[in-house]
A and B are shown apart, each in its own frame.
Chain A
Amino acid sequence: MIEAAAALVAWLGAAVVVLADARRGLALGLALVTAGLAALAWGTGQPIGAIALAAGGMTGALRCWTAAPGRWGLMPPGSTARLVLCIAAGLLGLWIAASATTAPGAPVLFAVLVVVGLMAARVLAGGDVIVDRTAIACLALALALSPSLASSIPTGPVPYVIGALIAAAVIVAPATMPQGAARSGKDGR
């Protein structure tokens, strides 16, 4: 029951990231995804992985929250398509995880499917740099949890730690601005 709730929290977080255009909304979404995926990692017997995911994701969320300008930017006008996408992705993920498969671990599968799918859609839709970075952080956390779907291979804490490091670093790292129209004579080849 706790795992199912955690998977729903992860989906809710991914949906918030898709629906938000400003830092506070994105931070909330990242925090929810982190909480959901960390709880799922704990449930699959990976306490170190869960702690790593929580630390990495929450570091990113905190950095996102504190960076100015602080606005929520949740569901700005024209968000209907994004809302439909979130609901459709949730329903499709739920159907695949709960009905179309017979394996245990349906909550983990649901969380991985919806977070990966929604974050890819968010990056493809384009947006501000911080939007893409938040989506990449969520994607890294979901990728870190993904090995637990395989029953045949041992999943140590390494993927979780790497995923958590990516999630934190991608938000904390300073952004580079694209070069302007003026092009220098030298290039890096």
Chain B
Amino acid sequence: MAAELLLAAAAALTLAVVFAPPRVRRASLLTRGLLGLAGMAAIAIAPTLDLILLILLVLAVLQAGLVSHRDFAARVRAPVLAIALLALGLAFERIEGPPVLLRFGAVGLVAGLVAAIGLLPYLHEFDPEESTVASPIAWIAFVGPLLAVAVLARAKQVVPADAGDALGAMLIGLGLLNVLWGTVAAWRTETDAAAWRYSFLSDWGLVLCGFGLAIADGQGAALMLLLSIVLGRLPLYLSSRQAVRDRTATLRPINLLVAAALAGSAPFAGFAARIMLLRGATQIYWPLAVVLAAAMLLWLPASLRLGRSMGLPRGRQAIGVAVVLAVSVFLGLYPQPLLALAGL
């Protein structure tokens, strides 16, 4: 699964560099993106969670060192908390103590993962004027997907079955919370830039639910959703930044198409992922599927808003948006080869 996400991140970086608007410094974007990709590759091949934490610390310090409007302390706070929570959780899982400590360890691992991705409320300051590579979006949409897969894969090696159930339950609970919080906030928040950020949280809510289900359908849905974040929502967010700054909202067919892709409608990638997630939830506990199905309707108003906020892409950006939509349709229509590659 990590290899697929690494390739997807590389593709997203390529899209971002090739279809970037003229005002963007391509060389700088490419250099920083490649640095991030190198870190992600190191995370993917790291044999233990301890090494992943050290690599994560390097990435966090490097990102916090970039020139930005926010100071070093503000940017390093969330990753350091995440690393500390993951390290404490890992330490609790490794000691031969009472079962309650193992469950505390599971809490630490999930809380650390959520903090590392950027889903903890109030911890990640979001400045819409900040460059994307220096902002929390880099964690939530670029590094985060591969990191989550790597951390959960390594965590399964150390978490015993009893605490593993607690870990899955927490993932589902936090996932539902993020689904509701993210969709409602993306719909109701004042600024379009903040709405885009919240929309990432809502997608991540479904991802966490998929990981929490711990069956093939859940894992497959999580992978598809992560790919739709990296290859869909992230490039569309980058394309929308100028229009969001200029506040040039439009309602043309392209905006409706983008809204449909963001909402996970057929035939885009999000649709296949949602079907798999509902099928998995039905297998585990059918009321969860009912809650998820109801929550998925909340994507509609937020996605319409985000689609309108893109404005009318022109020239190179229009080509970029078309490529993203085509990739999403392809993933939505033919998910099976990808899932087979990931062993699902």
A interface vs B, CB < 8 Å? 96, 100-103, 109, 112-113, 116-117, 119-120, 123-124, 126-127, 129, 132-133, 135-136, 139-140, 142-144, 146-147, 149-150, 153, 158-159, 162-163, 166, 170, 173, 175-179, 183, 185-189
Contact = CB atoms under 8 A, between A and B. Distances in A.
Given A101-B97, A150-B158, A178-B69, A189 B131 contact: yes
Given A123-B81, A150-B158, A158 B51 contact: yes
Contacts of B90: 146
Is the interface on chain B under 10, 10 to 19, 20 to 34, or 35 or more residues? Answer: 35 or more
6 contacts: A120-B83, A166-B57, A178-B68, A178-B71, A178-B72, A188-B28
Interface string B60-94: 01000111111111001100110111011011001
A95 B1 CA distance: 40
Contact of B97 (A103, A175, A187): A103
A162 to B, nearest CB: 5
Contacts of A189: 16, 20, 24-25, 29, 131-133, 238, 241
Interface string B110-140: 0000000000000000000101111000000
Contact of B87 (A136, A143, A175, A176): A143
Interface SS of A by simple majority: helix
B118 to A, nearest CB: 16
Nearest to A129: B72
Contacts of A188: 24-25, 28-29, 32, 66, 131-134
B280 to A, nearest CB: 31
Given A124-B81, A149-B94, A176-B67, 14 more contacts: A120-B85, A123-B81, A124-B77, A136-B61, A144-B54, A146-B53, A146-B87, A146-B90, A166-B57, A166-B61, A179-B68, A188-B32, A188-B132, A189-B132
B23 interface: yes
Nearest to B31: A188
Contact of A143 (B24, B83, B95, B101): B83
Contact of B95 (A109, A120, A142, A163): A109
B128 to A, nearest CB: 11
B133 A159 contact: no
Contact of B81 (A113, A120, A150): A120
A101 B25 CA distance: 54
Contacts of A149: 91, 94-95
B51 A187 contact: no
B23 A162 contact: no
